Amino acid sequence: MFYGTELKNRLMLGTAQYPSPAILRDAIAASGAEVITVSLRREGAGGGAFREILKESGCRILPNTAGCHSVREAVTTAQMARELFDTRWVKLEVIGHADTLQPDPFALVEAARILSAEGFQVFPYTTEDLIVGEKLIEAGCEVLMPWGAPIGSGQGLRNLEGLHTMRAHFPDTPLVVDAGIGAPSQAMAAMEMGFDAVLLNTAVAKALDPAAMARAFGQAVEAGRVAHGAGLMPRRDMAQASTPIFGMAEFAS
């Protein structure tokens, strides 16, 4: 449940870097995603064909403030996106480090506070830092989007312990793993850990067959969610025979 909206498909898909509008359209359809992210810069450069794809997809649009490096820039971009897409949802990015694209936690919290006060429903791109997460919730966020790894890196879930801890620390807050996912198995692992959704872009857009990869990610996210709900077996330090000794045949020597 994200700000009162329940989604059947827990894969959120980005719309940047695709080879062509037709391939983007096919990938969205194959993924089964109900939410697609769009940057204001991307929408402005895409022209009519891109806008038509967004309309035809039937997906909910999650505008993002990609590329913003200050509170003022992020807030202004979000305000423009609300007018353009007619939605209160916004994926808030305030980048603080040029190489890792790690979010600036101080600017992120401040921007989230401003936007929440203006009625936005903020999806903040953050790290797995628990204190930053608490500050974002205090600022009005009802969803947190911790990174798996740096954007576009394909490294997957780089800090498993940190993500496990975050899931345990915020049991009632929707958590979406955002950024760094490079393979369907990594997305499935996030869902098996109990995360509520996965957002990715590059791994699909840059695949040899984006539509096939989008389908694989959709299936992986669904499988991971079902597995988590079914109850994964705990890990053991030692082997345990699946066939009990009691009742086995005894052979005379």
Active site residue 135: no
The answer to whether 201 is a known ligand-binding residue is yes
Q: In what order do the strands lie in the sheet with 11-14?
A: 145-146, 121-126, 89-92, 60-64, 35-39, 11-14, 197-200, 176-178
Helix axes 160-169, 130-138, angle to 10 degrees: 40
- CA neighbor of 64 nearest in space, from 44, 83, 41, 34: 41
C-alpha of 96 from chain center: 19
The answer to whether 14 is a known ligand-binding residue is no
Which one of the listed residues 8, 55, 91, 135 is annotated catalytic?
91
The answer to whether 239 is a known ligand-binding residue is no
Structure tokens at 109: 């919290």
Q: Which residue has the tokens 């830092």?
A: 129
The answer to whether 87 is a known ligand-binding residue is no
Catalytic site positions: 91
- The annotated binding site is made up of 152, 179-180, 201-202
